[in-house]
């Protein structure tokens, strides 16, 4: 799937599954693998709970506590934008993707439903209801054990290069991100 971001089209692929399936670990491993191959990768993580990226006593926390609806914290090496939603509906995946900068691929963690293509992560030690059987956007299952009775492809968790290749094929991309990388200015 491709979505429009700030800098044009961005390839989007999701990693979904239930708690303790290993989604975050897989995303971290995939980011390392894909960046090693030359891809510029971004991530979006869906949290089912309230979270804070700043903490009591920090300036940005004090700004929000005082009533600021939006706070940007910026330094020479990074910036973060915090928006309080209050009574507003949660941001959609499409809205969040529209804020992403120039990237070759965005890996999305945690959106179990939607039109974006995704892998379902399963772990034998954390049984959960299957997603793939009822969702055409789940293109394959990543599992720590073989699943011979599944209808869709099963990728073994310990074969990270095969998982990365599957994702790149699914988004219609070559195995190396250099074809999409912008050349540095002289």
Per the listing, tokens 């914290």 go with 73
Q: Is residue 149 one of the residues assigned to a domain?
A: yes
Per the CB < 8 A criterion, the answer to whether 181 and 37 are in contact is: no
> What's the structural domain count of the chain?
1
Q: Is the pLDDT at 165 greater than 80, yes or no?
A: yes
Q: Is residue 65 one of the residues assigned to a domain?
A: no
Q: Is residue 68 one of the residues assigned to a domain?
A: no
Per the CB < 8 A criterion, the answer to whether 165 and 147 are in contact is: no
Q: Is the pLDDT at 166 greater than 90, yes or no?
A: yes
List residues bridging with 71 in a β-sheet. Answer: 82
State how far the Cα of 164 lies from the Cα of 160, in Å rounded to an integer. Answer: 6
Mean pLDDT of 21-34: 96
Query: Which DSSP symbol is given to 179?
Result: G
Q: In angstroms, what is the C-alpha Rg of the chain? A: 18
What does pTM read for this prediction?
0.82
For residue 173, what is the domain's CATH number? 3.40.50.300
Q: Is residue 8 one of the residues assigned to a domain?
A: yes
State how far the Cα of 157 lies from the Cα of 140, in Å rounded to an integer. Answer: 12
pLDDT given for residue 73 in this prediction: 87
Tens digits of per-residue pLDDT, 65-115? 888 888 888 889 988 888 888 888 888 899 889 888 889 999 999 888 889
Q: Is residue 81 one of the residues assigned to a domain?
A: no
State how far the Cα of 47 lies from the Cα of 36, in Å rounded to an integer. Answer: 27
Work out the mean pLDDT of the chain and round it to a whole number. 85
Q: What share of the chain is helix, strand, coil (3-state, %, to 5)?
A: 25, 25, 50
Tokens of 81: 């934008």
Q: Is the pLDDT at 178 greater than 60, yes or no?
A: no
Q: How confident is the model at residue 51 (pLDDT cuts 50, 70, 90)?
A: low
Domain range for 123 is 2-51+90-179
Q: Is residue 40 one of the residues assigned to a domain?
A: yes
Phi, psi (5° rounding) for residue 62? -65, -35
Q: Is residue 172 one of the residues assigned to a domain?
A: yes
Q: Is residue 15 one of the residues assigned to a domain?
A: yes
């Amino acid at each position: 799937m491709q979505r429009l971001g700030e800098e044009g089209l961005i390839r989007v692929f999701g990693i979904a599954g239930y708690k303790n399936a290993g989604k975050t670990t897989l995303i971290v491993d995939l980011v390392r693998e894909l960046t090693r191959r030359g891809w510029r990768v971004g991530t979006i993580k869906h949290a089912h709970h309230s979270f804070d990226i700043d903490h009591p006593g920090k300036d940005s926390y004090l700004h929000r506590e005082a009533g600021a609806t939006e706070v940007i914290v910026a330094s020479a090496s990074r910036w973060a934008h915090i928006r309080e939603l209050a009574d507003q509906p949660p941001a959609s995946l499409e809205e969040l993707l529209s804020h992403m900068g120039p990237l070759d691929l965005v890996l999305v963690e945690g959106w179990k439903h939607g039109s974006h293509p995704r892998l379902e992560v399963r772990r034998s030690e954390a049984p959960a209801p299957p997603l793939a059987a009822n969702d055409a956007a789940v293109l394959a299952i990543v599992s720590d054990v073989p699943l011979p009775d599944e209808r869709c492809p099963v990728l073994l968790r310990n074969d990270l290069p095969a998982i990365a290749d599957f994702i790149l094929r699914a988004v219609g991309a070559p195995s190396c991100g250099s074809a999409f990388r912008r050349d540095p200015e002289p």
